[in-house]
Amino acid sequence: MVLPGHLPAVSQPIHGAIAAHSREPRSKSYASGPTKVKNDIAAPVLSAIEHVNETRIKVPLQQSYSGSRPVIPSSLTSTDCVKLQVHGLLRRLNSTLGTSYTQDTPGVSSLLRDCVSKKYDFGTAYARLRLK
């Protein structure tokens, strides 16, 4: 059954989707179970070719955060806490959050050891430990 405004799933070779550069409306029959549905739709414009060898793709508003909470760069989020160990994790968190906790601060070492033992990445540790 196809709901109005929804298209059924269609198997299409990837090169066909990438090559679909035209926005001209075209009729297409889609098979959905035993019934066939005919829709007049505009062909999607999908092109991976436009972004080949680009290190960054502009996403509007992606980096326009202007809030007061500290933000970590995406390059830091995937750093393994195992690699940082407790001291390195504490140093990075203090730097990011603008705090000055030490390993002697009650509860800090056990929280950080937990992040290391659970093999969190820095982004997960930051999300769990930052002040709300």
pTM of the complete model beyond 0.85: no
Per-residue pLDDT tens listing for the chain (132 residues)? 444 444 444 444 444 444 444 444 444 444 444 445 556 666 655 555 665 666 666 666 565 667 777 678 888 889 999 999 999 999 999 988 888 999 999 999 999 999 999 999 999 999 898 865
The torsion angle over the Cα atoms of residues 86, 88, 90 and 94, rounded to 10 degrees, is 180
Do 112 and 90 contact (CB within 8 A), yes or no?
A: yes
**Domains of the chain: which residue ranges?**
14-50, 74-129
Burial class (CB in 10 A: 0-12, 13-18, 19+), 122: buried
Q: Mind giving me the DSSP string for 45-62? A: ---SGGGTT-S----TTT
